[in-house]
């Protein structure tokens, strides 16, 4: 236990962890630690319900603003941290509270892209405050926030940023906010402050004080203030902030995975429980009442529904040899389009379609098994869509039939050029039900190299379906873990969507096992679901879907 707590506080911490780690387990992210729990509980005086609400507000704010995978030694964050714009003093208030200062005159939103500047400021703010509240003294005694407007002009002021900072301090950060001191506010600040104050509850509004330099000394003694604010401390924000850099530099934030869990209502889910939705027990009862014949009839009824859309690109003469099966076209409305590098390119077509995941739009790209004449197209798509994970649910050959081309180099330390993309096999690992191959891809110029994971599921029988879903569920978890790892490795290079770029999933035709794999997560997240809706979602990206019998041994 990191700090001494009363018996009641310990009990509250156990309750918080019990509730929150049930949530983290449900979302397949690491559990919260004792120290994290105490930090949020301290901010809400160990009221468990309010602490949980605060945690989710904090998480959703970081997610909304893209405050994830921060590296304080990378630009532009490092320069922002050392600029003096925002700093945490090395001394405390007489009450033990930490003192943070935002110097308005150092903020210049008009000089650069305002949105980028704002994003970097919020990153610095979160980083420094996060480091500050790791201190037990700060957790217990709170935070005093000084907004120094001395010498600032209207061009230094940004209403949107001020509202975000105040909203953060108001209810989305694990710190007891003791006071907000607005020092030397210009006359023009009265109007924007009247707007900002509407965000504040009366209790917090009472803690906001607009003061002159002399009046500031009524709130804090000179030994707790820098010389620029009439105090005795030499102004040295670079040194003060450097004290907060080493402890986490180069280490991943343990809350990054938790922050990336999409909030309810923001999940981009294509599945909403409706009139046809059933619980698992209701589904079991429904299928028993239908019987085998009834299930076939219901499936055929869904299958025969005409999709909304056209197939012009897939059926064009110039593209026909790019389809593995002539009766498996993809819709114009959802297909992946390749970039045409020059006018000699015959088409932007590849038999591949975007698919919505349960929690994210275009979470997957469902595609056919690459053929020798489409290897180049496949790797062009992987490069252009920033793909990190490729999921293969078939073997190259099954039952004496060719199911897919050998589109990646098999031997470790070997490399093959596919059009403009070089694919190198760096290593291979054999697991119980799948094989993982680590690939590195680069363009002809070679200036950028990317790491790709190729996961091939090997436990689907040549005929029929797996006797148990356990292997496929384990494989799904491995895919999710690999995607999360590679997204984290990108750091600030990847912002949104939070779940990362699309995952490529293919079998042979791209509609049997592929559809199964991409919809595996549905029941994992839902207490209610619709079988018909799930099948229709597969139909939405591909016109043809195999009949039930062929799905059992399908590609």
Residue 174 to residues 5, 24, 343, 390, 451: CA-CA distances in angstroms? 17, 19, 56, 39, 36
Site of tokens 């999921």: 391
Distance CA 10, CA 15 (A): 9
- 124/80 Cα distance (integer angstroms): 7
CA–CA distance, 139 with 175 (Å, rounded to integer): 6
Identify whether the C-beta of residue 509 lies closer than 8 Å to the C-beta of residue 261: no
Known catalytic residue at 551: no
Number of DSSP helices (H) and strands (E) in the chain, helices first: 20, 16
467, two tokens: 């006797």
* Secondary structure E strands in 269-348: 335-337
Return d(Cα 66, Cα 495) in angstroms, integer. 6
Q: Could you tell me how far CA 88 lies from the centroid of its own chain?
A: 29
The residue annotated as part of the active site, out of 242, 507, 542, 551, is 507
**Residues 259, 260, 264, 265: is their CA dihedral positive or negative?**
positive
Residue 436's alpha-carbon distances to 428, 479, 540, in angstroms, are 6, 10, 30
* Residues tagged active-site: 507
């Amino acid at each position: 236990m990191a700090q001494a707590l009363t018996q009641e506080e310990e009990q509250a911490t156990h309750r918080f962890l019990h509730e929150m780690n049930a949530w983290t387990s449900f979302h397949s992210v690491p559990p919260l630690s004792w120290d994290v729990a105490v930090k949020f509980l301290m901010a809400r005086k160990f009221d468990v319900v309010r602490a949980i609400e605060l945690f989710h507000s904090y998480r959703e704010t970081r997610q909304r603003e893209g405050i994830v995978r921060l590296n304080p030694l990378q630009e532009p964050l490092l320069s922002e941290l050392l600029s003096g714009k925002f700093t945490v003093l090395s001394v405390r208030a007489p009450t033990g509270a930490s003192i943070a200062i935002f110097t308005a005159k150092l903020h210049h939103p008009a000089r650069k892209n305002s949105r980028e500047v704002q994003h970097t400021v919020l990153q610095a703010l979160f980083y420094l405050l996060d480091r500050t509240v790791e201190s037990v003294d700060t957790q217990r005694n709170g935070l005093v926030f000084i907004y120094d407007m001395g010498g600032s002009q209207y061009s230094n002021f940004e209403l949107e940023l001020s509202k975000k900072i105040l909203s953060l301090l108001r209810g989305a950060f694990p710190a007891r906010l003791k006071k907000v001191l607005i020092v030397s506010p210009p006359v023009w600040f009265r109007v924007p402050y009247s707007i900002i104050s509407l965000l504040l509850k009366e209790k917090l509004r009472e803690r906001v004080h607009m003061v002159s330099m002399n009046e500031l000394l009524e709130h804090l003694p000179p030994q707790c203030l820098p010389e620029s604010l009439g105090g005795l401390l030499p102004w040295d924000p670079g040194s003060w902030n450097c004290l907060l850099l080493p402890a986490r530099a180069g280490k991943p934030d343990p809350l990054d995975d938790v922050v990336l869990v999409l909030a309810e209502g923001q999940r981009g889910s294509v599945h909403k429980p409706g009139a046809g939705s059933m619980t698992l027990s209701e589904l079991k009862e429904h299928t028993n009442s239908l019987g085998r014949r009834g299930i076939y009839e219901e499936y055929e009824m869904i299958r025969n529904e005409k999709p909304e859309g056209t197939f012009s690109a897939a059926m064009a003469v110039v593209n026909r040899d790019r389809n593995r099966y002539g009766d498996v076209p993809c819709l114009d409305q959802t297909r992946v389009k390749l970039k045409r590098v020059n006018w000699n390119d015959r088409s932007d077509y590849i038999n591949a379609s975007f698919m919505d995941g349960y929690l994210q739009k275009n979470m997957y790209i469902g595609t056919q098994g690459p053929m020798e004449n489409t290897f180049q197209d496949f790797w062009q798509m992987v490069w252009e869509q920033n793909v990190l994970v490729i999921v293969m649910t078939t073997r190259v050959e099954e039952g004496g039939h060719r199911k897919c081309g050998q589109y990646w180099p098999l031997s470790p330390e070997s490399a093959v050029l596919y059009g403009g993309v070089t694919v190198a096999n760096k290593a291979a690992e054999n697991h119980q039900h799948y094989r993982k191959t680590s690939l590195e891809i680069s363009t002809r110029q070679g200036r950028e190299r990317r790491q790709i994971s190729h996961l091939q599921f090997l436990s689907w029988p040549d005929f029929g379906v797996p006797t148990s879903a356990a292997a496929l569920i384990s494989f799904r978890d491995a895919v999710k873990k690999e995607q999360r790892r590679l997204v984290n490795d990108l750091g600030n290079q990847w912002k949104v969507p939070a779940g990362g770029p699309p995952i490529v999933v293919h079998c042979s035709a791209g509609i049997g096992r592929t559809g199964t794999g991409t919809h595996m997560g549905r029941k994992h997240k839902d207490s209610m679901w619709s079988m018909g809706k799930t099948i229709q979602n597969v139909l939405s990206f591909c016109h043809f879907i195999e009949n039930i019998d062929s799905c059992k041994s399908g590609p």
